[in-house]
């Protein structure tokens, strides 16, 4: 059983997102460690890019600061290695865009990510139809598929049937960001996806409070929290302590 499979032995899981390099590299490593050791079951580790098309203003701002502070793919992979050295043993999924991975060299990137201790990849701007080269390079490390309410039924079925690791189900149409209420029809959408796969279904985009997470967790196998996590921690004078409290609050709501 690999780390991702182990994470889903108790469901629903809590999966926060946080970008490396924000507000600076050392703090971001401390924050991710704090999230991992205080309630996160799996973490989306952000690789910053100058044109993050799927992300809203909170994450765009954070990744822009990370880039201005000098974050690179290489430094990000070294940070993952450092997290493993510190005893972080939950799954770490690298979430980033395709261009920096190509620029790094696809096979080299995947090899270095695996050696650093990454467990898989989320690449929002890589369509399933164009992902063969990446998946061949990735080998046993899964490329996590994303589905959305706008995904046509035939395409949803094809993507869900070939899913590895888990499915990232986008709960709303649009970019990442906090929202005051959950999308209507989310339960039906989850049911529709589950008809075509045995992979866990995790829901992201727009979940901003422990109460919303609890509601989603009653329907899905996992809850992904990005913008609210970045905003809460990044806006705190004590980001590491904020990370501890944030993780504990969501973990408590889901358990």
Three-state secondary structure call for residue 60: helix
Is 55 in the active site? yes
- Dihedral of CA 138/128/120/29: which sign? positive
Which tokens belong to 22? 């924000």
Please tell me which residue in 33, 44, 112, 215 is annotated as part of the active site: 44
d(CA 67, CA 88): 25
d(CA 31, CA 1): 27
Is 41 in the active site? no
Q: Which residue has the tokens 């390079």?
A: 137
* Backbone phi, psi, residue 93, to 5°: -105, 125
Nearest residue to 32 via CA among 51, 54, 11, 47: 47
Nearest residue to 235 via CA among 55, 71, 58, 19: 58
Please tell me which residue in 33, 41, 55, 221 is annotated as part of the active site: 55
* Backbone phi, psi, residue 23, to 5°: -75, -15
Distances (CA, A) of 53 to 46, 49, 56, 125: 14, 9, 8, 8
Which residues are part of the catalytic machinery? 44, 55
């Amino acid at each position: 059983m690999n780390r991702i499979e182990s994470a889903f032995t108790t469901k629903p899981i809590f999966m926060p997102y946080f970008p490396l390099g924000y507000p600076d590299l050392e703090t971001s490593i401390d924050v991710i460690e704090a999230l991992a050791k205080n309630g996160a079951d799996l973490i989306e580790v952000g690789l910053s890019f100058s044109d993050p098309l799927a992300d809203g203003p909170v994450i765009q701002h954070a990744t822009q600061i990370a880039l201005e502070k000098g974050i690179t793919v290489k430094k990000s992979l070294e940070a993952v290695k450092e997290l493993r050295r510190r005893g972080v043993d939950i799954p770490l999924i690298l979430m980033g865009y395709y261009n920096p991975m190509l620029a790094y060299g696809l096979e080299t990137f995947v090899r270095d990510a695996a050696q650093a201790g990454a467990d898989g990849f989320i690449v929002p701007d890589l369509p399933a139809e164009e992902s063969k080269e990446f998946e061949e390079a990735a080998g046993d490390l899964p490329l996590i598929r994303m589905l959305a309410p706008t995904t046509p039924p035939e395409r949803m079925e094809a993507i869900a049937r070939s899913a590895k690791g888990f499915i990232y189900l986008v709960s709303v149409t649009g970019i990442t960001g906090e929202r005051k209420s959950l999308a209507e029809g989310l339960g039906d959408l989850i049911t529709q996806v589950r008809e075509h796969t045995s992979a866990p279904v995790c829901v992201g985009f727009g979940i901003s409070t422990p109460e919303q997470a609890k509601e989603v967790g009653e329907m899905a196998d996992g809850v992904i929290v990005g913008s609210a996590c970045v905003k809460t921690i990044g806006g705190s004078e004590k980001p590491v302590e904020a990370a501890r409290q944030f993780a504990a609050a969501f973990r408590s709501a889901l358990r």
